[in-house]
Amino acid sequence: MATTRREFVKRIGLGAATGLALGHTLSGQRAQAQTLAHIASGNFDNGIMQLNQNESARGPGPKTLEAIRKHTSKRVGRGYAPDHVNELRAAIASKYDLAENNVLLGTGSTPILEGSVHAFCSAEKALVTAVPTYSTSEQTARKMGVSVHAVPLDADLTVDLPALAKLAPSAGLVYVCNPNNPSGTVHGPEVIDNFVRGVMRASPDTIIHLDEAYIDYTDPGAMETALPLVKEFKNVFITRSFSKAHGLAGMRIGYALGHADTLTKISSSWGMGDVNMLGALAALTALNDNEHIEWERQENFAIKTFVIKAFKEMGYEVPYSHTNHLFVNLGMPASKFRDACLAHNILVGRDFPPLEKTHCRISLGSREEMEQAVAVFRQVLA
């Protein structure tokens, strides 16, 4: 018989403090499995609640965990030609109706971000990016001595695509994070389509990288993948990550989808790392576990709604986020808020210049974590 979340929480003795204030009832079986997994995993990492990295607080879904367990055997002693890696590439290609050479795997999407700057930027060819945005591309360019055009977000904290487009003709690579980290804002398909076509007309040699790491957390209808543009334009590629909604950050798997020549340039200019057997198997299972991804999206949505409401009640502005993190205008330095939270064993996000004097990024943890965290936020902001 299905058990309600409230009954379950009571039964395992967590009391009323856990998970009840969100006003959202999970389907019974699922809630039990997730809550048990959460408790068993000792999720409060070494006593510090980690709201600073945008990983999934819930980890992979039950099917993926089971697949990992099943494949944890002596076979992990063999791995220089690891099982499942080719299978994973083939499965990703098939999911998106692409050939296998249109898929580039990496140990997380990070090496692909780094490799693309190495492949397409140089002393003469700048990187165009937003600020603040996910900073790996910019950091890589700065290490290489490549010039960086970093365009501030607009007043709504969305990526200013017209300003990026104007700078594209001098650029080797334009990086667009959609949805954007840290602001959580998103551009819909028409806007992205117009932007890509505009850049490709004005500067056909420039490469456009659309980073869709958070796509699985977006509200329905808010955005679409830029895959059709990847299929149309050789110079457009997208990256995805298994580190976010799939809950596999520790397994280090990401991928790019693009033209074979574009991907070959990336992989030949930087090491992509060796995807490992268990990681590939986990990603292979998670890739098409649509039920879990939808559950994860809804769970994140409920938690996000709860935390946004709490900040609004406290009188703070929060741009609506399509990710698993919020970028809150606290009107105080992020460092001050971070120190105050850390005194309560909660770690929130780093500085995001030029908004570090006002905004703080808070990654969304589990229900239980965010209820505790909101109580602490209320206290330190009072």
Binding residues for ligand PLP, rule: CB under 6 A, are 54, 108-110, 134, 177, 181, 211, 213, 241, 243, 249, 254
Greatest C-alpha distance within the chain: 66
Q: How far is the CB of 251 from ligand PLP (least distance, A)?
A: 9
Q: How far is the CB of 15 from ligand PLP (least distance, A)?
A: 34
Closest CA to 41 of 19, 65, 5, 71: 65
C-alpha dihedral over 181, 184, 189, 193, to 10 degrees? -40
Q: Of 22 and 176, which has the nearer Cβ to ligand PLP? A: 176
Q: How far is the CB of 254 from ligand PLP (least distance, A)?
A: 4
Q: Using an 8 Å Cβ cutoff, are 334 and 350 in contact?
A: yes
CB-CB neighbours of 190 under 10 Å: 9
Q: Of 109 and 366, which has the nearer Cβ to ligand PLP? A: 109
Q: How far is the CB of 253 from ligand PLP (least distance, A)?
A: 7
- Position of minimal CB gap to ligand PLP: 108
Q: How far is the CB of 183 from ligand PLP (least distance, A)?
A: 11
Q: Of 241 and 285, which has the nearer Cβ to ligand PLP? A: 241
Q: Of 19 and 319, which has the nearer Cβ to ligand PLP? A: 319
Q: Of 213 and 328, which has the nearer Cβ to ligand PLP? A: 213
Q: Of 28 and 152, which has the nearer Cβ to ligand PLP? A: 152
Q: How far is the CB of 241 from ligand PLP (least distance, A)?
A: 3
Closest CA to 97 of 243, 225, 286, 281: 225
Q: Of 133 and 203, which has the nearer Cβ to ligand PLP? A: 133
Q: Of 116 and 241, which has the nearer Cβ to ligand PLP? A: 241
Q: How far is the CB of 116 from ligand PLP (least distance, A)?
A: 12
Q: How far is the CB of 239 from ligand PLP (least distance, A)?
A: 7
Closest CA to 250 of 62, 31, 68, 373: 68
Q: Using an 8 Å Cβ cutoff, are 128 and 151 in contact?
A: yes
